[in-house]
Amino acid sequence: MVTPSVRSIVALVREVSPRLADCVLTHLGRVAIDAERAVAQHRAYCEILQSLGARVEAIAPLPDAPDGVFVEDTAVVVDEVAVITRPGVASRASETGTIALALSAYRRLLRLSDEATLEGGDVMRVGRTLYVGRSGRTNQAGVNDLGALLAPWGYQVQGVDLDGCLHLKTACTFVPPHYVLANPAWVDPRVFAGVTVVAVDPDEPCAGNTLTLGGVTLVAGNCPRTAAILRARGVVTRDVDLSELAKAEGALTCSSVIVEV
């Protein structure tokens, strides 16, 4: 049973592009992607979000944007405002307009400077602190801009160095209310002062990307040992198979923008 929340949840999603196989890859080699299976897995993902209490809202499709399904990268949403990002690869620039249109119904929109690059997958929020990965997609100007934009609402932004992964949330995610689940080979756990850091199983390096809704933490289906580590700490987990999207360097958080309304 889903625990009722004081606020309702909207999950913004975009359908899988038929050109998913042409996605930008940084850390993975290119392998065949089963397009039909990717669509089915994404549909099941949306159904799981609905089952956990989210209202799933499909934004405008972008069939010619191979990475368009990974909507998380296009915005950073906090309680008061939403920051429309500037993706770190030029091929993704067309994705931000449709997310801005969808988010304008729920938040005042803010924009980054032309010098900044920032992708939402690099931003992990823990309370009023936003940890931002300095990655190949997010530069220091992006970190600085986000801090300046959100400072009026009392948010603190802290840059984090990464090694060996695409985004910060490839390496770690917040599992409310107590834990950051992290791969210590990709991010130094000591940067998360005051938070209990739980290490992923070393044989499941990508397990750090989780998504928590309705008191349930979604874990990649190929990471059962890490799921067991979380359950041993009292976390309710549910396995989700996004294996085809994972071939495009996607993960659980990547495929939605979560908005509390």
Tokens of 252: 């659980």
Tokens of 11: 């999950």
| Given 165, 172, 223, 254, the catalytic residue | 254
Distance CA 173, CA 212 (A): 9
| Given 42, 167, 172, 206, the catalytic residue | 167
Residues 6+ apart with CB under 8 A from 206: 170, 183, 220, 223, 246, 251
Of 207, 145, 204, 153, residue with least CA distance to 175: 207
Distance CA 46, CA 60 (A): 16
Helix (H, G, I), strand (E, B) or coil at 211: strand
Tokens of 96: 């931000």
Of 218, 214, 207, residue with least CA distance to 181: 207
Of 142, 125, 62, residue with least CA distance to 96: 62
Tokens of 62: 């972008």
Distance CA 50, CA 96 (A): 24
Is 68:89 a contact under the CB 8 Å cutoff?
Answer: no
Helix (H, G, I), strand (E, B) or coil at 170: helix
Q: Judge whether 23 counts as a catalytic residue.
A: no
Q: Judge whether 254 counts as a catalytic residue.
A: yes
Distance CA 163, CA 179 (A): 21
**Residues annotated catalytic, as ranges:** 167, 254
